[in-house]
Amino acid sequence: MAENEFSFENPEYRKTYWHTCSHVMAQAVKRLWPEVKLAIGPAIDEGWYYDMDAPFAFTPEHMEQIEAEMRKICKEKLKLERFELPRSEALELEKDEPYKIELINDLPEDAVISFYKQGEFTDLCAGPHLDSTGRIKGNALKLLSCNAAYWRGDSSRQTLQRIYGIAFPKKEELDAYLQRIEEAKKRDHRKLGKELGLFMLTEEGPGFPFWLPKGMVLKNTLIDYWR
């Protein structure tokens, strides 16, 4: 394998790292609120998310609690162990997790059904993952936001809560990332348009700016120039 196999520069390693973070986040949530049901938790282009069905809305305070528990789990250096089960045993193991049951039932007849176990927590998953939660830097992870998301993207199904997170191998990298997000927010046209009094946006038409007089002048000037 290439030299940078275990480097964050390697997109595969990065995804593996973030995906492992999603398991750590799910484990933290289950420790804090065992009644929360888990749906899916993939790595994405920047970080990861996990969709969950909770009987309450996650607040920023909850997110801080989850982060703190995640840091503990990283310190516990739990080994991630993969195992496979025949379908009937897989269904028995996940009997209290309705979303996992649905996922298992949807797997093709001949599918290998694999799980990953870390400490007391087990999740249905194809992998891959890091070999230990100790590989994750607890002080360089952050939960970013929580949005509503439909189960399987289907608006007729349950509305879940999607918690997004990001992590890096070093705290300085996390800080730099968070600063970049803040800067981007400041330059967001939706924010600038409002602050400069150029246009307003309404809930009813999120993609349709309503031009204010100052904005209209600017818009017409630009159109004249373009002509």
**Residues forming the site for Zn ion (CB under 5 A):** 125
> By Cβ distance, which residue is nearest to Zn ion?
125
Nearer to Zn ion by C-beta: 125 or 160?
A: 125
Q: Taken in order 66, 71, 76, 79, is the CA torsion positive or negative?
A: positive
Beta bridge partners of 37: 53
- Give least dist CB 75 to Zn ion, A: 21
Looking at residue 125, what DSSP letter applies?
-
- For residue 26, the one-letter residue type is A
Long-range contacts of 153-157 (CB under 8 A, 24+ apart): none
Nearer to Zn ion by C-beta: 41 or 138?
A: 41
- Give least dist CB 218 to Zn ion, A: 49
Nearer to Zn ion by C-beta: 125 or 140?
A: 125
- Give least dist CB 145 to Zn ion, A: 21
* Residue 25 to residue 121: CA distance in whole angstroms: 11
Nearer to Zn ion by C-beta: 115 or 177?
A: 115
Nearer to Zn ion by C-beta: 62 or 129?
A: 129
- Give least dist CB 129 to Zn ion, A: 6
Q: Taken in order 1, 16, 165, 158, is the CA torsion positive or negative?
A: positive
Neighbours of 135 (CB within 10 A): 16
In terms of DSSP H, where are the helices of 84-188? 87-93, 98-106, 171-186
- Give least dist CB 116 to Zn ion, A: 6
